[in-house]
Structure 1
Amino acid sequence: MNIQSNTFERALSSLKDIYTRTERVIDRIGDSKLKKSFLWTLTVLFCLSALLFLNILTPLISDDFAYLFIYGENIRVASIGDIVQSQINHYYQWGGRSVAHFIAQALLLLPAYFADVLNTLVYLGYALLIYFHVTGRNKASLSLFIFINLAIWFMQPVFGDTVLWLTGSANYLWCTFLILLFLLPYRFYKGGELNVAGKILVSAGLFLSGIIAGWTNENTAGAMVLIIAFFFIYYRSHKWKIPVWAVSGLLGGIIGYAILILAPGNFERAGESAFGFSVIAYRLFNCTLTFFFYSGTLILSCLVIYILYYRFPGGGRNDKLKLSIIYSIAAIAAVYAMLFSPTFPRRALFGVVTFLIVGAGILYYNLDFSQKLLRQLRLSVITIGTISFFFTFYLAAKDINTFRNIMEEREIKIEEAKRKGVASCEFERYEGSAYIHGEDPFSEELMTRHYGIKIRLKGRD
C-alpha cells in the first residue's frame, strides 16, 4: 500500500512540476510581443493548412452535381449570367436560398483548387468573426482562438456537411460568415456618434448587407434579426442612442428574410401539407430531441462555463452576462424556427452551435484567470483537446480519402463503360460520415446527367 501511495504522490508531483514549468513558459511568451505574434501566426497557418488539406481531399458529391447545371434545365453553368438564370429558376421552383446557391454555383464554376482556397479562407474568417463577437474591441487571447477552433471541430454535428462539402459550405459556413460579418458593427457599438456623411454611408451599406444576410439561411437569419432586436434593448440599458445605421441594417435584414421565406418555390414544395396541433407537437418534440441529442455536449459545456463565470467572474459581470444571453437565446430561437420545416437535418444546427459558442465564449473570455484553478483547467482542456484533434483529424482525412478513391475508381470505370458502349454503370451507394456527406436518393439522377451515362447506386447489404 505504501509503495502504491508513494507512486501516486510521485506521479502527482511530476504533473504539478510539468504544469508549473509550462505556466512559466507561457508567462515568458506573454511578456514578449514578438513571441506572441509568432504563436498567433503559427496557429493561424496551422488552421489554414489543416482545412485546406481536407478541402482539397473532398470531391464533388450529391447536390454538387445538381448545381453544375442551370437549375431546372439540362444546360451546364458556364458564366455568371447562367448562375443568375439558375437562381431565378431555383427561387420559383425550389426555394429562396438564392445567396447560398449563387455562392455554391460560383464556387463550382471556379477551378477546384481556387474554390478550395476560398473555402478555407472563409472558414478562417468565420472563426475570426466568432472571436471578435466574443472579445469585442478588447485585448487578444490566443487561448480563446484555439478554444473556438476546437469547439467548431468537435461541436458542429456534421463538420463535413457544413464546412467541407462545397454545396453544404455555401449554405452554412458562407452564410453564417455573412451573418456574423453583418452583425459585427452591432457588437462593436459603444454609443459613439458618426458625422452626417458617415451615417449616410454606413446606413446604406448596412441596409444592403442586411438584405444579403437576411436572404441566406432560414433559421440562422431569423436568429440574426432577433439578435439585433436584443442589441437595441442592450443599448437602451446603457442609455445609448439607437443609431440610424442600426435601424437601417435591421430593415435590410427583415426585407432579406422576407425575400427568403416568401419564395414561391417554398410554397411549391410545401404543397397542401397540414399544419395542425399534432404536427406542431411532433415538430416541437423533434426540434428539442435533435438539439439535445446532437448538441448535448455543447449545452453541458456552456452550463459549466456559466457556473465557472458565476464563481470566478472578471470585470463587468452583469454586462457580459447580458451579451452572452443575447447570443444564447438567439441560438435557442434558431432551433425552434425549424418548427416551420418538415425535417430538421443535423446541418441546420450550424448557426445554433455558432451562437452558443459565441455566448459561452464571452463568459470564458471574461473569467478571472488570476485564479490558479482556472489556469490549470484552461491548460488541461487545450492540451487534451489538441491531442484529440490530431487523432480525429486522422480519421477525418481517412474517411474523406476513402471516398475520394472511390470516386476516382468510379470515373475510370465510367470512361471505360462509355468507350465500350455499355448502357449503365452500377456502384455501391456511399453512406457518408461526420466528415463527408453521403450520397442522397437523387444522386443517381444527378450523376447520370453529369457523366452522360446511366448511373445506378445500390444500397449496402
Structure 2
Amino acid sequence: MDKVVEFIKKNKVKVAGALIMIAAFVILLIINLHVDYTSDDFRYRFIYDTPGNPLPTTKKISSFWDVIISMINHWKLCNGRVVAHGLLQMVMPFGKLFFRIFNSLVYVSLGFLIYKHSVYGKKSNLSLLVLVYIGMWFFLPQFGLSVMWASGAANYLWCAAIMLSFMLPYRMYAANGADSVKDSWKSAVLMGLFGLFAGCTNENTGGGVVLICTLFILFYKIKGFKIPKWSWIGVITAVCGVVLLLAAPGNYRIDSKASFAEILIRFKDVIAKTETLAFWLFVIIAVVLILALLDKSRHTKLGINWLVPLIYFVGSVAMISVLAFAAMRPERTWFTAIVLLIVIAGWLYSEIKFSDVKPYIITASKLGLTAVFTIVFLISFNKELSAVKSTYDQIKPGLEAIEQAVENGENEVEIPLVTPSDSKYDPYNGALYAGDSPTLWVNAWMEKYYGIEKITGVK
C-alpha cells in the first residue's frame, strides 16, 4: 500500500490524467450501452457481396480473409472506404459488448490524441485534457451518427483517430526535431503503412491529411530541420491511399458532377453548415487567441511556432471546402475538420502562461473554468442520456422479442416501430431502423443477421 501511495505522489499528473480518461471512457460506455445496431450495421456483419438486399449465398464474416474478400467487393460495388468498413467488420464478430467497449476506447484515444497534438513539447495541462473531452461532447457533429452508430463511428470516430495517430509524429518532430522521432527505416515502413490507411479514410479527409503532412515538411525546411525519410514516405503512401479511395468503381454510382453555378450554391451551403456547426468553437478560438496575444510573458509572439496551428487550420479549411464538390454533405462529414479546430483551440489555450501573474491566480482561474464547463457538461449529459434511453426503451422490447423467437425456433416476429428522440446524440435520429414492411432493406438485413425469415415493425 505504501508503494502505491508513493507511486501516486511521484506521478500525480500521470495518475490524474489516467483518471480523467477513465472517466471519459465510463461516460461514453454508459451511453453506448443504451444503443444497439441499426441501419447498415447489420449488413457489415456479412461478407459484402451486394449493394441491395442479402443474397441466399451471403454469409457472415468468420475470418480475416473474409474481411479482405468483403472489402474488395465493397471497393467495386459501394465505395472506397475499405479502411473504415474493414476495421468495422473485424470488430463486429466479437459481439455487441466488445464493440461498445472498443468504441469507447477509441473515443478516449481520440481525445488523448487531440490533447497531444495541442500540448506536445509543452508542460502537461490537465485542465486542457478535461476541456478537450468536453469540447468533443459539444462540438463533434451529429454525435449519435458519428460516434454512437457503429457504421458511423467506424467512418468518422475511428478514422479520425487513425489520421491523428498518423500525423502525431509530424507534430512531434516539429516540436523537438530528431530528438522526438528517429529517422530509421523501421519508422519509414511504419509511417508508410499508416499513411496508406490515413489517406484511405474519407473522401474529404484523406487529401487534407496529405496537405497537413506536406505543410509540416515545409515547416521543417523553414526551421532548418533535416527532412526525415519517414515524413515524405508517409506523404507518398497517404497519396496512394487517397487514390485507392477515390478510384473505387463503386464511387461512380453517385454522380457528383455539377456546373460552376451549382458548385457555388453548394459552397454557400458548406459555409452555412460550417457556421452552424462551429460558430461557438470559432468564438472560443478567437478568445484564447486574444488571450495568448495579450500574454506579455511569452517570447514567441509572432514566432515560427505560430505556423503550427496555422497548419491545422489550413487542413481543416481544405477538408471543409472540398465538400462543395460532393453531391451529399451530411453534417458528420465535418467531423475531422472540427477535430482539427479543437486541436487549434487546445494549442492556443496551452500557450497562455501569464508568468507575470501570481501562479495561484492562474491555477484558480483554470480550475474555475474547468469546473464551470464540467458542470455544464454533466447537465447536458444527463439530459441527452435520458433522450437516448427513451429511444432504447422502445427498441429493447423488439430485441427481446427477436431473441425469444430465435430461442423458440420461430420464423416470424413483430417488433415495435420506433419514434426516436430529436437529440443529436441519438443514432436512431437519422439512421434508419426497421419499418412496417418486411421487404424494407433494413428489415431484410436484420432478418439475415438474426436468422429470422420475417421481421415486421408494428405500431
- Structure 1 unmatched ranges of 5 or more: 1-30
1:167 and 1:440 mapped to 2: Cα distance?
10
Q: Which of the residues 342, 347, 370 maps onto 1:382?
A: 370
Q: Does 1:192 align with 2:186?
A: no
How far off is 1:118 after superposition?
Answer: 1.5
Superposed CA deviations along residues 287-322 of structure 1, whole A, max 9, x for unmatched, are 111100111111111111111111116343323321
Cα pair 2:81 2:245 within 8 Å, conserved: yes
Give the corresponding residue for 2:68.
Answer: 84
1:395 counterpart residue number = 383
- SS of structure 1 residue aligned to 2:417: strand
User: Aligned equivalents of 1:58 and 1:442: distance in 2?
Assistant: 12
The equivalent of 1:283 in structure 2 is 266
Matched, 1:251 2:241: no
Per the TM alignment, residue 260 of structure 1 is displaced from its structure 2 partner at its CA by 0.6
Q: Which residue does the alignment assign to 2:308? A: 323
1:42-441 to 2 correspondence within 5 Å? 42-71=19-48, 72=50, 73-74=54-55, 75-79=58-62, 80-189=64-173, 190-192=176-178, 199-270=184-255, 274-312=257-295, 314-317=298-301, 318-370=303-355, 371=357, 377-413=365-401, 427-430=417-420, 433-438=423-428, 440=431
Offset, 1:32 = 6.0
Shift of 1:408: 1.6
**Which structure has the greater CA radius of gyration?**
1
Conservation of the 8 A alpha-carbon contact between 2:387 and 2:421: no
Q: Secondary structure at the match of 2:226?
A: coil
Question: Does the CA-based 8 Å contact 1:212-1:256 persist in structure 2?
Answer: yes
Q: Tell me, what secondary structure is at the counterpart of 2:184?
A: helix
Q: Structure 1 residue aligned with 2:444, among 430, 442, 448?
A: 448
Q: Distance in 1 between matches of 2:243 and 2:234?
A: 14
Pair 382,456 (structure 1): closer, same or farther in 2 beyond 3 Å: same
The amino acid that maps onto 2:423 is: S
Q: Is the 8 A contact 2:29 2:101 kept in 1?
A: yes
The CA deviation at 1:250 is 0.5
How many angstroms apart in 1 are the aligned matches of 2:395 and 2:67? 26
Distance 2:133 2:83 in 1: 26
Deviation at 1:106, TM superposition (A): 1.8
Change (3 A) 1:412 1:360: closer
Q: CA deviation at 1:76?
A: 3.6
- Is contact 2:413–2:454 with CA below 8 Å preserved after alignment? yes
Decide whether aligned partners of structure 1 residues 311 and 92 sit closer, same or farther in structure 2, where only a CA change above 3 A counts: same
Q: Which amino acid aligns with 1:267?
A: Y
Tell me, yes or no, if the aligned pair for 1:425 and 1:454 is still in contact at 8 Å: no
2:404 and 2:185 map into 1 onto residues whose CA distance is: 62
Aligned residue for 2:3? none
Confirm or deny: 8 A CA contact 2:146 2:152 kept in the other structure: yes
Deviation per CA, 1:320-345: give whole Å up to 9, x if none: 32111111121111111212211211
Q: Is the 8 A contact 1:108 1:115 kept in 2?
A: yes
TM-score by length of 1: 0.85
Shift of the alpha carbon at 1:374? 5.7
Q: C-alpha displacement at 1:437, in angstroms?
A: 1.4
Structure 1 residues 428 and 237, CA gap change in structure 2 (3 angstroms): same
CA deviations over 1:430-452 (Å, ceiling 9, x no partner): 36521121254585422233233
Q: Structure 1 111/315 Cα, relative in aligned 2: closer, same or farther at 3 Å?
A: farther
- The answer to whether the 8 A contact 1:62-1:446 is kept is yes
User: 1 or 2, which has the higher helix percentage?
Assistant: 1
- Cα drift, residue 376 of structure 1: 5.6
Q: Is the 8 A contact 2:395 2:416 kept in 1?
A: no
Helix, strand or coil: the match of 2:209? helix
| Normalised TM-score (structure 2) | 0.85
Q: Is the 8 A contact 1:312 1:368 kept in 2?
A: yes
Number of equivalent positions = 426
- In structure 2, what is the Cα distance between the partners aligned to 1:381 and 1:457? 48
CA distance in 2, matches of 1:246, 1:207: 9
Between the aligned partners of 2:122 and 2:277, the Cα distance in structure 1 is 32
Partner letter of residue 237 of structure 2? G
Structure 2: which amino acid aligns with 1:294? L
- Percent of aligned pairs sharing the same letter: 29
Q: Are 1:295 and 1:353, in contact at CA under 8 Å, matched by a contact in 2?
A: yes
Call closer, same or farther: CA 1:38–1:84 in 2, change over 3 Å: closer
Partner amino acid, structure 1, of 2:374: T
Q: What are the Cα deviations for residues 192-243 of structure 1, in whole angstroms up to 9, with x where unaligned?
A: 2899x95222112211110111111122222111111211221122111222
CA contact (8 A) 1:94 1:265 kept: yes
